[in-house]
Amino acid sequence: MKFRDVVIPGTGEQFSVPQGIQRIDSPSTHGWQLRYRGETKLYSDREYGGSAESLSRATKELLRRIARLPAPSGLQRTPNTSKTSQMPVGISGPLLRVRTGGSARYAIFLVSIPRFGEKPRRASVYIGSETTYTPERYEAALAKAMALREKAEKAYQRAATQAKRADARALAETL
């Protein structure tokens, strides 16, 4: 889990704060705000008896949320606005290729396979050659490419959640 050092203005108190918790110091509010998976909650210094106790409560709630919610994966869910084709995210094509040493052309879809903690890899899904290419084969290959991408996204999400929970367990042991 990533941490950063925060110094509270005015008091000079220093804290090591986990990712997902931010310090809020405004004229009317002082405390720690938990932000995880779109949900926020403020732990006010006044309500919890000081900045150390409010940070402790925010950290405990962060650990609870990590234990029950999937980790934010960071995978792109919608196509870029500049994408000109109607293909889903992570799928390109159809692309025409020529066999090595030959002249026969064939069509494929390229699928980006995300892998947590590693570089993504690419897989190709064969559609057909110039003589075998049909709309039915196109649709079948596209369905296969989409299933391949979906399976990889689920594996990525599982791995990201497992890593986040392992980090949270390590943090919980230090508290």
pLDDT tens readout for residues 6-29: 998 878 889 999 999 999 998 888
Output the CA torsion sign for 126, 128, 130, 135.
negative
For the entire predicted model, the pTM comes to 0.79
Same domain for 20 and 52: yes
Same domain for 115 and 59: no
Same domain for 99 and 156: yes
Is 141 contained in some domain? yes
Half-sphere exposure of 10 (CA within 13 A, CB side): 5
Same domain for 64 and 9: yes
Same domain for 157 and 105: yes
Same domain for 96 and 162: yes
The DSSP call for residue 102 is S
Alpha helices in 5-134 (DSSP H): 45-48, 51-68
Is 86 contained in some domain? no
Is 78 contained in some domain? no
Is 175 contained in some domain? no
**Residue spans of beta strands (DSSP E) within the chain:** 3-7, 14-18, 21-25, 30-36, 39-44, 91-98, 105-113, 121-129
What is the model's pLDDT at position 113? 96
Is 79 contained in some domain? no
What is the model's pLDDT at position 136? 97
Is 83 contained in some domain? no
Confidence band, pLDDT 50/70/90 cuts, at residue 32: very high
Is 127 contained in some domain? yes
CB atoms within 10 A of CB 29: 12
Of 34, 69, 104, which one is at a domain's C-terminal end? 69
What is the model's pLDDT at position 55? 94
Round to whole Å and give the CA distance between 32 and 47: 11
Output the CA torsion sign for 39, 42, 14, 65.
negative
Is the model's pLDDT at 164 over the cut of 80? yes
How many separate domains does the chain show?
2
Same domain for 98 and 62: no
Structural domain that includes position 41: 3-69
What is the model's pLDDT at position 49? 86
Same domain for 59 and 118: no
Same domain for 65 and 128: no
Is 23 contained in some domain? yes
What is the model's pLDDT at position 157? 94
Is the model's pLDDT at 175 over the cut of 80? no
The model's pLDDT over 37-90, given as tens digits with 9 standing for 90+, comes to: 888 999 999 998 888 999 999 999 999 999 999 888 788 878 888 877 788 999
What is the model's pLDDT at position 158? 94
Round to whole Å and give the CA distance between 123 and 90: 10
The model's pLDDT over 100-148, given as tens digits with 9 standing for 90+, comes to: 887 889 999 999 999 999 999 999 999 999 899 999 999 999 999 999 9
Of residues 5, 135, 164, the one with CA closest to residue 71? 164
